[in-house]
Structure formats: structure tokens, C-alpha cells
Amino acid sequence: AEEVDGEWAVLPDVSPATIEVRIEDLQVGDLADNTEDEICKLRDIIWAHRHLLIGKGNALPPAAVGAICDIDVGDAAPIAQRVRKIAPQFREKVSDLLKGLLSAKSIRHSTSPWASPIVVIIKKNGVDIRLCIDYRLVNGLTKLLIYPMPLINDLLEDLDKVLWYCSLDMASGFWVVSMTDRGRAISAFITPFGRFEWNRMPFGLKNAPQIYQRLIDNAFYGFLRIPPAADQNALSDLFKAGDPEETGESSVLGRRSYIDDILVTAGSWDLLCDRVKALLKACDKWNISISVAKSFWG
């Protein structure tokens, strides 16, 4: 049976490009519940921000603004684990997967003194595999980022009173977060084909959920503002050097979201359209992309 440990970074099958999004791909409303005018109104709002929409495929999305992933292990000496054996019948698959990640610029070759091993998980059909990185030793050394994650019960509160909602999935989740140079080096992993390190934040790192949640909370609640263009740096940490946003603006959604799963709720279709417009404006500001295939609008 296929089992994946919470401290293993799963390496997904990737393609160097995504399928171009068409307006017909948007899953907006239902003619059983909505008029054509209502559907067209919301669809037009979404399509006006089509540069934020990501189609099928796992090409690397644009980097989000202001959020970076660092791995703080204090004074710990680098740990370089040995490469683990991969059965001959799976080596070609591993090679293809690494080539895909390189083409998508998700990873790059590494000369880091750190090395975490990859692990091959055989899927239930006994033929296909899932490739993971075992980050347990790295995570054991990493200082914990203290940040409150949402409670599921709080997220579900009052949903029985909602008439309309959108269920959205942020494209490629953690991959929108850039890595610091130190983070890249410590994220290095070893394979039979060499060592590689991440350009963007992978799943499986100790603080990855907190880093992404903090990005989404700030984008939708407006605690810190983006600095002037002259002061921006691709690897600047907004949460260390950012200035407070001006007060008086209400939050985009009025509720928190759970990591990359976003819920937009409203008591009327017009209010839903207004909230979607505000959400897309925030996503545009912070450079956060949305998966078309996994998102349902109304």
C-alpha cells in the first residue's frame, strides 16, 4: 500500500508548460440555480484577471511577493546521507521525473554539503511509483516557526447560513514561495543521478505550511504592505522588513482559509461577485495564481 510520511517531500510529475486556459474552462455557477446573466457576470470578473489563472500541468508558477522560505538549523553541521538503492525497473522513471523538475526550474543541480535521500514509494497497482525526499533529519534540526494554523471547526462555523460559495485552489501551493540561498542548500537531496536542490519551497519541510499560511493571511487581511518598487528584492522577507498596511480596509473574505484551499462565501450572488473581485485584486497584488481545474466559482 502507498504511504507517505508527513516529513517526506513528494516529487510530482511535472511538465515544462501548462495548458492554455480558455474562458470555457471556468467552472462558474449552475444553470439549475443561476440565470445566464448571473453566470456571465461572475465569469467576466474572473476572466478580467485571466493572467492569474493556471491551466492543467505543473509548470512552475510565478513567485509570490514578499514570502520566502529559509531553513534555520542554527549551528548544526551539515548532514549528508548516502543515496538509497532504487530497483532497476524504477530508475528510468526517477530519471524522467528529475528531468521534468529541472525543465520546470523547480530544482537545480547542487554542490551543497547537505544531502537528504530520496525514497521510492510503490503505488497500489504495483507498477507506478511516487518519489519522495526524506527530510526527517533536516526537520529535526530546523527551528520551528511559531505561527497559528487555522482550526477546522472555526473554518466551518456559520457555513450552514451561506447561500453561495466559491471553492478555490491556489495553483501549485507551496511552489510560489522562493527559497533563500541557505534554504536551497539545506533542501539538497541525493539521487543515483546526482544531487539537486529546490528553487521553490517543497512539501515536507517543517515550516512550509506555516510560511504559506502566513502569506495567504497577509494577502487577504492586509497586515503588511508591499514596499515601493525601488526597495523590492526577489528574496526579501516581508515579515521581517515590511511596513504596516494603512488601517481602515476590511479583509477580503472575512474568514481565514486553510493553506491553499480558499473558500469565498456570500448571502447573495452580487455580494459573491464583489468578494471574488476583491479576492482577485489581492491575488494580483501578491502574485498568487489560481488553479482552474480545481476551482469552482459559485
Hey, CA dihedral for 126, 103, 260, 188, is it positive or negative? positive
pLDDT at 153: 81
CB under 8 Å to 250, separation ≥6 — which residues? none
Report the distance separating Cα 214 and Cα 62, nearest Å.
Answer: 18
The DSSP secondary-structure symbol of 73 reads -
pLDDT digits (tens, 9 = 90+) for 57-94: 656 778 888 788 999 999 999 999 999 998 888 888 88
CATH number belonging to the domain at 8-67+78-297, selected among 3.10.10.10, 3.30.830.10, 3.90.700.10, 3.30.70.1450 = 3.10.10.10
Q: How confident is the model at residue 2 (pLDDT cuts 50, 70, 90)?
A: very low
Alpha-carbon distances of 71 from 22, 99, 135, 179, rounded to whole Å: 39, 25, 12, 9
Going by their DSSP bridges, the two strands 290-291 and 53-54 should be labelled as: parallel
pLDDT at 232: 46
Domain edges within the chain: 8-67+78-297
CA–CA–CA angle 166, 267, 163 (5° rounding): 60
Q: What percent of the chain has pLDDT over 90?
A: 40
